[in-house]
Structure 1
Amino acid sequence: MNAAIQDYNNLQNSSDKEICDLLATIINENLPDAENKIWHAHPVWFLDGNPIVGYSKLKNCVRLLFWSGQSFDEEKLVNEGSFKASEIRYTSPELINKEDLKRWLKKATEIQWDYKNIVKRKGILERLK
């Protein structure tokens, strides 16, 4: 695991650390070619410089965010923001359904909106895949 991401996880309380460690492990296993780093203070995975998935600690949960998730057609993922992102929130590691997460990660590689160039396009998203 990326040392900066492990440092981020280690800063969480024990339950949230378990959630973060499990998410990072599953994401790394299923996105072996993705670059991962701390981006805007949170762990994020990128394909070709485009953000795909990341997580962040909120007040009472850990939020897993898929940048192109609104296009996944998955009922457990909730729309987030005014672009194409969706999220799911976890309050314990037992709530993480590994099969769902693997399916979403597969879709994240197959369905991508171009967030890398959103500023250059003045807030307009174009579909990459």
Structure 2
Amino acid sequence: MNPEISEYNNAQSTEDQLICNVLAKQIDLHLTEAENKIWHAHPVWFLDGNPIVGYSKQKKGIRLLFWSGKSFEENKLNVLGGKFQDASIFYNSVDEIDITDLEIWLQKAKEIQWDYKNIVKRKGVLERLK
């Protein structure tokens, strides 16, 4: 695991550490080709410089966010806004993580991508890559 991500995870409460460690291990397992780093203060995985998935500590729990998750058409993922293609799910216990769902979402994250890498260049307009 990336030492920066490990440090982020270790800074969380005991239960949140467990959640973060499971998420990081599963993401690393299924997105082996992805670069990962702390980006905007939380762990994010990128494919070809495009953000794909990340997680962060929020009031509602650990938020697992897929940048293109709206296009996954998965009922368990919440779409919060209408402008972008992101969708997320919150976890408050490691027992809430459904590994099968997570594997499906990570596979979709590879297959369905919107171009966030060039969003500034396109003045906020998203284009689908895959």
Normalised by the length of structure 1, the TM-score is 0.99
**3-state DSSP of counterpart to 2:59:** coil
Alignment of 1:10-89 (within 5 A): 10-81=10-81, 82-89=83-90
Deviations 1:20-60 (A, max 9, x none): 00000000000000000000000000000000000000124
Please list every run of 5 or more consecutive structure 2 residues that lacks an aligned counterpart in the other structure.
none
Structure 1: gaps spanning 5 or more residues: none
Structure 1 stretches (4+) deviating beyond 4 angstroms? none
d(CA) in 1 for partners of 2:67 and 2:59? 21
Between the aligned partners of 1:84 and 1:60, the Cα distance in structure 2 is: 21
For 1:96, the equivalent position in structure 2 comes to: 97
**Alpha-carbon distance in structure 1 between the residues aligned to 2:54 and 2:80:** 13
Identity of aligned residues (%): 64
| Cα deviation 1:78-100 (Å, max 9, x = unaligned) | 00333000000000000000000
Aligned residues: 129
RMSD (Å), alpha carbons: 0.6
Say which SS state the counterpart of residue 123 (structure 1) adopts: coil
Matched, 1:118 2:119: yes
Equivalent in the alignment of 2:4: 4
Distance (Å, rounded) in 1 between the aligned partners of 2:13 and 2:68: 29
* Alpha-carbon contact 2:18-2:94 (below 8 Å) kept: yes
CA distance in 1, matches of 2:92, 2:20: 11
